[in-house]
Amino acid sequence: MCLAIPGKIISIDRSNPDLVMAKVDFAGVKKDICIQWVPEAKEGNFILAHVGTALSLIDEKEALETLNLFREMDNLAGDPS
């Protein structure tokens, strides 16, 4: 139940300032998600959604770094040092 899944913001509805909602695309399945707590979220951003609410914005740079870091460490590991 603590599962949260990544989805891409398609559009944002700020008509209710206490309940900012977004249309979010989860690999083709679209859902309305409350993005009240990720005020910096923009269209095209990815969020982590849990029971109809966004918990955090996915940090693209960190996401790539996690993957690239290992590539880099590989190269280092390959060095006879």
Partner 1 sequence: MTHHNTLPLKYIDEYRDARLVKELAGKIQRETRHPWTIMEICGGQTHSILKFRLEDLLPPEITLIHGPGCPVCVTPTEKIDRAIDLAGRHGVILASFGDMLRVPGSETDLLSAKAAGGDVRMVYSPLDVLKIAGDNPTRQVVFFGVGFETTAPANALAVIEARNRGLKNFFLLSSHVLVPPAIRTLLNEGGGRIHAFLAAGHVCTVMGYEEYIPIAATYRTPIVVTGFEPVDILQGILHAVRLLAKKEYRVHNAYARAVKKEGNPAAKALIREIFQVTDREWRGMGTIPMSGLELSPAWAEFDAEKAFEFRVKKKHGAGKCLAGEVLQGKILPAQCAEFGKTCTPEHPLGAPMVSSEGTCAAYFRYGKYQNNRS
Residues in contact with partner 1 by CB under 8 A are 1-6, 8, 18-19, 27-28, 34, 36-39, 46, 48, 50-53, 55-56, 58-60, 62-63, 65-67, 70, 73-74, 77
Q: How far is the CB of 10 from partner 1 (least distance, A)?
A: 14
Closest by Cα among 43, 69, 68, 47 to 58: 47
**Tokens 């095209």, residue located:** 44
| CA torsion through residues 15, 18, 23, 29, sign | negative
- Residue whose CB is less far from partner 1, 11 or 31: 31
